[in-house]
Structure 1
Amino acid sequence: MEGEDSGSTTGLQAGSEPLRLTDVQLPWRFAERDERLALLDVFLEDFVFHAAMIRKQWGAGEFTCLGLALAGMVLGAWDLGIGELAGGGDYNRVGLSGFRNLSDFSLMLALLSMIAWAGVLVTIWSRYPIMRENLVYLGIAMLAVQMGSISAHSQSPDFPNGSVARDWVILGITNLVLFFLSIVVVHRAVIETRDIHVEERHAHPDPRVVQKAWRDHSLRAWSLSLGMWMILVNLMAWSGAHAIADRPPIESYSNLVVAMFVVTGFLSAGFLMHILWYPQFMLGGAEDRIQSVRAREVAGEVAGEAPEVIPKAEQGKCPICSNNTPAIRHATGRIEVSCTSECSGLGKPGTSCPECDAILPTRIE
């Protein structure tokens, strides 16, 4: 934009305001080269905003969680100097029996890996409370894909080479579970909760302000993050099963495949944190519950009540000419007025504007 440093990637409309998506300014735009590439500018603005918010919001808790995830992946896959995985282990022992017969070093690494993953789960469970239910769904989806990949490798150790239709059917079914829980359940719940949040909490007589609120609550980058997580989960599940699928003695144990398992597992943990963090960041302050519209209706029916009809805000009208006024009365009876044409603030008449600290008008001309 004009008047801004061309080298900056983000800017604020006011120094005291928190960074919002609509404050993001790009140093150059794809649309300047070709109008058909304007959509790329929209996505790039989202990515810049998410990166800025991660730098601003993520702290010791998030980075500790990522460190534990990396430690859990490395410790669980480490086999250098041990040979437990490369040797194929004792396939006559399974479950706890096999676990108890690990070498001391392997057992220690396995226990440390489990402790690290327990730390990851406790951290994300406590830091993102409004996404706990969705974390369970995503965990089930990830486990389903891993079991599907293990099943596909059980009959075809070199999967996809030498695979049969049954292997693909099982893997396809588990990916349908992943798609249903990730897209139909989690994605839909977050999208519809966002919609309700904007409609209820960002109502304004000026449609430009409402349009800005919709843009500020964009979920494009978050949706892409969810898609990337689904891809990485598949790659992690395949590489993990592929590395140990050969029957002992394993002659073609590949450290490269193990490295792929560690890298994709760590990246999937990072994307999972982003998937859980952003709805918490965007909606957590309003204490919104992440649920789809249908889930909210079902919850009302289970409680023996009809689904609650949420009354919309009522636009004020002049008692003489019946024209609309800038005043708004909410369902709770609270009345709000807009500040000025230069400011988009809303508040109770006679109080300070939350945006510019000016006194909101008590009379409407």
Structure 2
Amino acid sequence: MTDPSGESTETADGIPFRLRDMELNVKFGDIHPIFNRIDDLRKQWKFMILLALNDWGRANYLMLGFGICAFLLGAVSTDIVSGGDSLSTGMDGLLGVGSFSFFQMLLSFVSWVVFLYFVWVEFPVMRVHSITMMLIWNGMVFANVFFHENNPIWPTDISLSDMMYGTLIMLVVIFFTYFFWKAVSDTRDLHVQVHHVHEDVRIMERDMHEHSLGGWGSMLLVWFSATFLSAWSGVNFVASRNNEAYLTLIIHVLSGIIVVPLILMIVWYPQRMLGTTTKISTSAALTAEIEMSQGQLSITTDAKCPECNASVTLSMGLNGQVSVPCPEAGCEAESGIIGSICAGCNKEFPSRFNCQSCSTNIPYVDTIPDSEAW
């Protein structure tokens, strides 16, 4: 939120710095202005990483540890390195692995369960999307299995006729990834429109830049690429049995280790930006939900006067519009969206709140608590 001077009033979020405070020692834009966009993305990456180092606690690092351990336990074993028994498949193949490899597989499964449990608890806003990311990862693995089914050295000697099922899965994966990005982007836009409304357009543009998702979007793209590389290299190594060249296995392990922290960063940052009470959804889904409920959906808030903590009566629709009571005497029972006309007295619903306890006059949006976002 912003005060009339345009300076941020959000100090309760505990952020010791802002995106606009980020400086780069080396700027590619000095070489040519075309590289200014790269510098902007570097600033956003720097901001996200420094903010994560400032905010992350024991639970976050435990998540990271369990995720990496789960991946490594499943990625490297004696059966995988040796190539296993090509004649043993299905349950026979599963039961035919060595005792240590079987125990290692169980440990990997348990570690993944613990990892997902931590993610589920620590990131309530991103629960569905975190599961989506894991499904995308597994979808890429299955897509590469189909790619390598008739061609163990794919993409060498590529044949389009052998890529139908894998391509179909990849199209679904790309759709889910785009939907994830779109949901976060639309929710960010709504957040800025609701919580950073200001009569000065320049200040709103500044706040929109503070909530830029360019760095997050590029991180999502890097995660997508690293995930596909990890899936391809792992399947490629297994498909080429008795392969003494361990380059693809090394690529699989290294890229997989990168994937895990990127997952945590990607699900943590939107929640940190938008708060734990936000619903991440695309604008189309939000509009459909409102229409199906005949416009009656609203979010209850614990709005209070920031000066004296007196209770403020208002409600916020899922489309971000704030409804307030009519201030006219005898018409207090009426309520409506700010700026609309009251049906009882034909007066406009005000955008500012006059506190009866401390005589403060402030915008209604500044009474809405949002302590876990910026």
TM-score, length-normalised on structure 1? 0.75
Q: Offset of 1:38 from its aligned partner?
A: 2.8
CA deviation vs aligned residue, 1:187-226 (integer Å, no higher than 9, x gap): 0000000000000111012223212210110000100011
Q: Offset of 1:275 from its aligned partner?
A: 1.0
The answer to whether the 8 A contact 1:243-1:253 is kept is no
Residue 131 of structure 1 is matched in structure 2 by: 126
How many aligned residue pairs are there?
307
Residue 47 of structure 1 is matched in structure 2 by: 45
- Match status 1:116 vs 2:106: no
Residue 287 of structure 2 is matched in structure 1 by: 297
- Match status 1:242 vs 2:232: no
Match of 1:89 among 84, 89, 100: 84
Residue 194 of structure 1 is matched in structure 2 by: 188
Distance in 2 of aligned mates of 1:213 and 1:311: 17
- Match status 1:209 vs 2:235: no
CA deviation vs aligned residue, 1:72-120 (integer Å, no higher than 9, x gap): 22222323xx4x2244333444343322222111111111111111121
Name the SS of the counterpart of 1:241 in structure 2: helix
The answer to whether the 8 A contact 1:203-1:313 is kept is no
Distance in 1 of aligned mates of 2:361 and 2:173: 50
Name the SS of the counterpart of 1:244 in structure 2: helix
Residue 245 of structure 2 is matched in structure 1 by: 254
1:307 to 1:140, Cα distance in 2 relative to 1, 3 A: farther
The alignment's C-alpha RMSD in Å is 3.0
Name the SS of the counterpart of 1:155 in structure 2: coil
Match of 1:276 among 267, 270, 277: 267
Distance in 1 of aligned mates of 2:95 and 2:38: 54
Stretches of structure 2 that go unaligned for 5 or more consecutive residues are 1-10, 298-316, 324-337, 341-348, 364-374
Residue 62 of structure 2 is matched in structure 1 by: 64
1:283 to 1:330, Cα distance in 2 relative to 1, 3 A: farther
TM-score, length-normalised on structure 2? 0.73
1:25 to 1:313, Cα distance in 2 relative to 1, 3 A: farther
Name the SS of the counterpart of 1:73 in structure 2: helix
Distance in 2 of aligned mates of 1:88 and 1:27: 48
Distance in 2 of aligned mates of 1:175 and 1:134: 18
Name the SS of the counterpart of 2:197 in structure 1: coil
Distance in 2 of aligned mates of 1:177 and 1:21: 34
Match of 1:335 among 352, 356, 366: 352
Match of 2:94 among 73, 91, 99: 99
Distance in 1 of aligned mates of 2:261 and 2:148: 27
1:351 to 1:152, Cα distance in 2 relative to 1, 3 A: same
Distance in 1 of aligned mates of 2:255 and 2:135: 18
Q: Offset of 1:276 from its aligned partner?
A: 0.4
- Match status 1:19 vs 2:8: no
The answer to whether the 8 A contact 1:336-1:349 is kept is no
Stretches of structure 1 that go unaligned for 5 or more consecutive residues are 1-13, 315-328, 338-347, 354-365
The answer to whether the 8 A contact 1:178-1:230 is kept is no
Q: Offset of 1:244 from its aligned partner?
A: 1.1
The answer to whether the 8 A contact 1:296-1:307 is kept is no
Residue 350 of structure 1 is matched in structure 2 by: 360
The answer to whether the 8 A contact 2:45-2:216 is kept is no
Alignment of 1:310-329 (within 5 A): 310=319
1:97 to 1:196, Cα distance in 2 relative to 1, 3 A: same
